Chain A
């Protein structure tokens, strides 16, 4: 196997799927780039982060469509196109920008199938960058996947590594339901083993990143790496963590999470999203309701404080959950005794 970056894995998944199925189109702001500019190039950027570079050259203007800055129109268009025979993959540069097309996602894409009594299929994917750590400020650093996880009718994929990025994206493109696909901007350069051929990582199947017996640590997206780092440190202290990456928050692999919590009796839920109504609270509630008698300590949540993402580097570093905070929470659950 070859080591590839997260970015390359995404790019490869798009290319392989577009070669396989001619109804797949890619659309978004600057997905080719350079249209109408003074340099007169056909393909300039492949998106500001280069995620779609090379697609325009191979698949041309009918399948790789630059859009004006117009999220409502082109995200809504994915629904209309998906209902009528195409399989669109849209790129909304940053998840923060879905504020302007929220209606199309929430009221149209998520509900059309149900409102139509199952008579519509919406095979579409919306790819978005998310997450803090880029010194990008409050409007380019959010997670927001809890909002979309909240909405029935949507699937939500949040790969934590290049292998999953490729496999989950291929699964998302082949899926007949709308999938919101989250790519953390701080791990785009991260490398990992990625097979050259097409493969699927199924939506709704968690990954046991590290097996352990003392504490279950559920972490999402970039936070998986914080959890792994914490687990490595804690192992030296004799604390054996089981790290679970749900990979998708909708559907959520509740069975894998609950099986682990029943085994370890302790849960730490790690989520980079704002702390109210995020995936950590959701997973904690799941454990409280379904595995209460197995719990030997109160569930702990590791999330940022309830503030917008700050710009200044020391503040942003303080904001983002890290391995130390995860380790601290794990230690607290291990040390807990009912009388304490």
Chain B
């Protein structure tokens, strides 16, 4: 294995926290206390962890409506995230964004996004900044199989290639764009084949395999940092919950999720790999799970107790100059 024990522990911690965060949100959403739309990332943790393991604060990511995992993997504060999802003043965006717009530019997190595929264009700009200002940074656009069919995404990949930007396009192909199967909606079957059209390397990996994701992202990041231009990564994965919380999911068989959890779970896979290699014992990972549980529990309690934004917040933050 190319990663140190510390790096692996860090990766597991990221995945464990994402899982705990979204599993807990699933429970809390059902109580009716969380406003609006919430899209859970549970099941796809290995993608966010494997991709963001290669990034630091000088690097930027643009996320999707299903963004909690990306936020946690990019080191956003879990308390600030939870408060934001509850619409509280202590939220990362002061309660003005919500689940679909969590952002923290100090961490290089350019926002979850309510518009499918839109973040790819933002990433061209962040990558252009990195290139022009010589920061050495890369910019990563997450989108999905749904986003893979958006015109803006094609435009962004073309522009990134023409400008030779340090940009990486990560497609989380979780099999469904809302309720419509990607097998039906995606002409050509595989997103990765589209890389060829834009003259960039394309990688297709098992998105439930942290190590596979980590490895292709290493290649894409090295290429971007060396000034050789963008790459495309397609991660085949599945979400454990519906498109949004409250989705009846009558478009997919019950067994599909049961099988996924039993046989394809990315955390289980990770645990087996590092245990077999004798790198990390189960006890250490159990301890991480327990920490994540406590952290998320505290975040939920704090978010519930926190004050909502004052009426005066309605009119602020529209413009920088007034």
In the bound complex, CA of A176 to CA of B110 (Å): 18
A324 adjacent to chain B (CB < 8 Å): no
Q: How many angstroms between the C-alpha atoms of A172 and B288 in the bound complex?
A: 50
The stretch that binds A, out of B116-124, B220-228, B261-269, is: B116-124
Closest chain A residue, CB of each to CB of B152: A72
Contact with B along A56-70 (1 / 0, CB 8 A): 000000110101101
Contacts of A112 in B (CB 8 A): 103, 111
Q: How far is the CB of A73 from chain B (nearest CB, A)?
A: 4
Taking a contact as CB atoms under 8 Å apart, the answer to whether B122 and A115 are in contact is: no
Contacts of B163 in A (CB 8 A): 65
- Of chain A, the residue at the smallest CB distance from B159 is A73
Q: Is the C-beta of B92 less than 8 angstroms from some C-beta in chain A?
A: yes
Chain B residue contacts of A114, Cβ below 8 A: 96, 317-318
Q: Mark A159-186, 1 if CB is under 8 A from B, else 0.
A: 0000000000000000111000000000
Asked whether B104 lies within 8 Å of A119 as measured between CB atoms, the reply is yes
Check B103 against A119 for contact (C-beta < 8 Å): yes
Residues of A261-304 contacting chain B, CB below 8 A: none
Task: State in angstroms the CA–CA spacing of A328 and B321 once bound together.
Answer: 40
- Asked if A10 is at the interface of the complex by the 8 Å CB criterion, the answer is no
Q: Most A CB atoms within 10 A — which of B92, B122, B125?
A: B125
- Are A80's CB and B118's CB within 8 A? no
Give the size category of A's interface with B.
Answer: 35 or more
B128 CB within 8 Å of chain A: yes
Q: In the complex, which residues of chain B have a beta carbon less than 8 angstroms from the beta carbon of A75?
A: 121
A122 CA / B103 CA spacing, docked (Å) = 14
Contact (A70, B155) CB under 8 Å given A25-B132, A78-B125, A116-B103:
yes
A82 contacts chain B at the CB level, 8 A cutoff: yes
Query: Is there an interface contact between B111 and A77, defined as CB atoms closer than 8 Å?
Result: no
Q: Give the chain A neighbours of B308 by CB distance below 8 A.
A: none
On whether the beta carbons of A81 and B128 are closer than 8 Å, the reply is yes
Tell whether A104 is near chain B: CB-to-CB under 8 Å: yes
CA–CA, A321 and B106, complex, Å: 50
**B residues near A251, Cβ cutoff 8 Å:** 322
- Which residues of A sit under 8 angstroms from B300, Cβ to Cβ? none
B62-95, CB under 8 A of A: which get 1 and which 0? 1000000000000000000000000000011111
Cβ of A117 and Cβ of B133 under 8 Å apart? no
Q: A65-B163, A86-B129 are in contact. Are A153 and B114 (CB under 8 A)?
A: no
Asked whether any CB of chain A lies closer than 8 Å to the CB of B290, the reply is no
CB distance from A62 to the nearest CB of B (A): 6
C-alpha spacing A14/B278, complex, angstroms: 62
Cα–Cα, bound, A123→B127 (Å): 17
Contact A84 B97 (CB under 8 A): no
Task: Specify which chain A residues have a CB less than 8 angstroms from the CB of B123 in the assembled complex.
Answer: 80
Q: Does B130 make an interface contact (CB < 8 A)?
A: yes
A115 and B318 contact, CB distance less than 8 A: no
How close is A98's CB to chain B, nearest CB, in angstroms? Answer: 14
B97 to chain A, nearest CB (A): 4
Is B184 positioned at the interface, with any CB of A under 8 Å from its CB? Answer: no
B133 touches A76 (CB 8 A): no
A108 & B118 in contact (Cβ 8 Å cutoff): yes
Q: How large is the interface on B (under 10, 10 to 19, 20 to 34, 35 or more residues)?
A: 35 or more
- A116 adjacent to B95 (CB under 8 Å): no
Query: Is B151 part of the contact surface with A, judged by Cβ < 8 Å?
Result: yes
Report the separation of the CA atoms of residues A122 and B321 in the bound assembly, to the nearest whole angstrom. 11
- Are the CB atoms of A80 and B96 closer together than 8 Å? no
Q: Nearest chain-A residue to B121 (Cβ)?
A: A76
> Do B60 and A84 have beta carbons less than 8 Å apart?
yes
Instruction: Determine if A76 and B122 form an interchain contact, defined as CB atoms under 8 angstroms apart.
Output: yes
Asked if B51 lies at the interface with its beta carbon under 8 angstroms from chain A, I say no
* C-alpha gap A255/B316 in the complex (Å): 21
A107, CB-defined interface residue at 8 Å = yes
Contact status A117-B94, CB under 8 Å:
yes
Residues of chain A within 8 A of B139, CB atoms compared: 80
- Whether the pair A115, B156 counts as a contact (CB closer than 8 A) is no
Binary flags per residue of B298-322, CB closer than 8 Å to A gives 1, else 0: 0000000000000000001111111
Q: How far is A77 from B111 in the complex, measured between Cα atoms in Å?
A: 14
Asked whether A83 and B110 contact (CB < 8 A) given A78-B125, A113-B319, the answer is yes
Nearest B residue to A108 via CB reads B118
- Interchain CA distance A65-B100 in the complex, whole Å: 32
Q: Do the beta carbons of B105 and A120 come within 8 Å of each other? A: yes
Decide yes or no: A73 and B121 within 8 Å by CB, A117-B97, A119-B93 being known contacts: yes
**In the complex, what's the smallest C-beta–C-beta distance from A162 to chain B, in angstroms?**
25
What is the bound-complex CA distance between A155 and B103, given in angstroms?
A: 23
CB nearest neighbor in A for B316: A118
Q: Which of B92, B95, B115, B321 contacts A107 (CB 8 A)?
A: B115
Which residues of chain A have C-beta atoms less than 8 A from B156's C-beta? 72-73, 76-77
B126 touches A81 (CB 8 A): yes
Nearest Cβ in chain B — how far from A92, in angstroms? Answer: 14
Q: Is A88 among interface residues, defined by CB-CB distance under 8 A?
A: yes
17 A-B pairs besides A117-B93, A117-B95 with CB distance below 8 A are A25-B128, A68-B158, A72-B155, A73-B152, A76-B156, A77-B124, A80-B124, A80-B127, A80-B139, A84-B110, A86-B132, A116-B96, A116-B97, A116-B101, A116-B317, A117-B91, A177-B319
Closest 7 CB pairs of A and B: A76-B121, A80-B125, A117-B94, A118-B317, A81-B125, A80-B122, A73-B155
* Interface pairs (21), CB distance under 8 Å: A62-B132, A68-B159, A72-B152, A73-B120, A74-B121, A76-B118, A76-B121, A78-B125, A80-B123, A83-B126, A84-B110, A84-B129, A108-B115, A113-B318, A115-B97, A115-B103, A116-B105, A119-B93, A153-B318, A155-B319, A176-B320
Chain B interface (Cβ < 8 Å from any Cβ of A)? 60, 62, 91-97, 101, 103-106, 110-111, 113-115, 118, 120-130, 132-133, 135, 139, 151-152, 155-156, 158-159, 162-163, 316-322
